[in-house]
A = this chain, B = another copy of it.
Amino acid sequence: MSRLDLKNGSVEMVHGSGGRAMGQLIEELFARALRNQWLDQGNDQAQFELPPGRVVMATDSHVISPLFFPGGDIGSLAVHGTINDVAMAGARPCYLAAGFILEEGFPLADLARIVESMAAAAREAGVPVVTGDTKVVERGKGDGVFITTTGVGVVPPGLYLSGDRARPGDRILLSGSIGDHGVTILSLREGLGFEADIGSDSQALHGLVAAMVEAVPEIRCLRDPTRGGLGNTLNELARQSGVGMQLVERAIPLREPVRAACEFLGLDPLYVANEGKLIAICPAEQAERLLEVMREHPQGREAAIIGTVVADAQCFVQMETLFGGSRMVDWLNGEQLPRMC
């Protein structure tokens, strides 16, 4: 059997058959890029030890279009996205699993590029992909490649973070500028050229999280504002905790090219997806200390206190605007941006 043609070959139905061709795809493409002691075992599952503590599990299916974009691709995004979901429990992400759904005809060169990017992201994060699965669907029944990643991690003893723990008086912090990821994808999709000045913020935030929870274990909750953006994510947290929120627009970091692109595209940056930012809510007394720790970390240099949790039975999120007025930051209604992650 000749080697896979990683230059001109493409995914064929036989690569999903469970037979020799699938074995070859796994060996010459997936296992080669992702190589580690768990994948080398060649079993249908991975076995490992976890440090003591509460276990965290998160899963995310990635269907982003286009597959490649400034700042990343579906491979690195699938690693970052799931690491972040695990980390938002205050946990140390330990291991990843990845399920691939490939469309017949997808170029093997693109698949190799994606898997190598995934491997690089996993290596950089120190969170290996230890088990996986590959399926192939007929042409027109998929869209190139979908990747579902699942992560497990462990929460250090003494921590309990959850979206229902925000209390009136708590402060709301944001780790950096909003809208970068979503605006990059949309600009690329529409061929607008804004992506020359902007790029996705896709990154794994567990290092930042580790520094934060170590310094301020009193943090109530963390969440990454991905689909639906900052506005929708704050509404989720407000409803979960049964509180309101009062934001200050001028405190919310927003890069000028992103602001300009949003204006051009008619988008409200509050609802544009992020892939490398987090919201933290903590008691007022710890807010300054937490801000300081975040700003000391490379991923939190632009961190800011953007608002306060208030008592509100209706769980409204409101914002003092740049011009001193007040506006409601409602749930995202309708479909602002499909297939952002």
By a beta-carbon cutoff of 8 Å, the part of chain A in contact with chain B is: 12-14, 16-23, 41-50, 54-63, 85-86, 88-89, 91, 95, 97-101, 130-138, 140-143, 146, 148, 150, 152, 155, 162-164, 223-224, 226-229, 232, 236, 240, 271, 273, 331-339, 341
Contact = CB atoms under 8 A, between A and B. Distances in A.
Interface centre among A150, A164, A339 (most CB of B within 10 A): A150
Choose among A50, A99, A137 the residue with the greatest number of B CB atoms under 10 Å from its CB: A99
Q: How many copies does the complex hold?
A: 2
B228 A97 contact: no
A63 B252 CA distance: 42
A161 to B, nearest CB: 9
A101 to B, nearest CB: 5
Given A49-B55, A61-B134, A61-B148, 4 more contacts: A18-B227, A45-B56, A45-B57, A148-B148
The winner among A100, A229, A333 for most chain B CB atoms within 10 A is A333
A17 B57 contact: no
Contact of A133 (B54, B60, B152, B162): B60
Nearest to A94: B55
Chain A interface helix/strand/loop/mixed: mixed
Contacts of A58: 44-46, 97, 131
11 contacts: A16-B227, A17-B332, A18-B226, A18-B228, A47-B89, A57-B97, A58-B131, A61-B133, A137-B339, A142-B142, A142-B143
A19 B150 contact: no
B59 A148 contact: yes
Contacts of A41: 162-164
Contact of A63 (B12, B130, B135, B152): B135
Given A140-B140, A148-B99, A152-B55, A232 B43 contact: no
A218 to B, nearest CB: 18
A232 B57 contact: no
A17 B60 contact: no
Nearest to A1: B333
A223 B19 contact: no
B339 A61 contact: no
Contacts of A20: 331-333
Nearest 6 CB-CB pairings of A with B? A18-B227, A18-B228, A19-B332, A45-B58, A148-B148, A150-B150
Contacts of A232: 18-19
A89 B336 contact: no
A236 to B, nearest CB: 8
A20 B19 CA distance: 43
Given A17-B332, A17-B336, A47 B55 contact: yes
Nearest to A48: B55
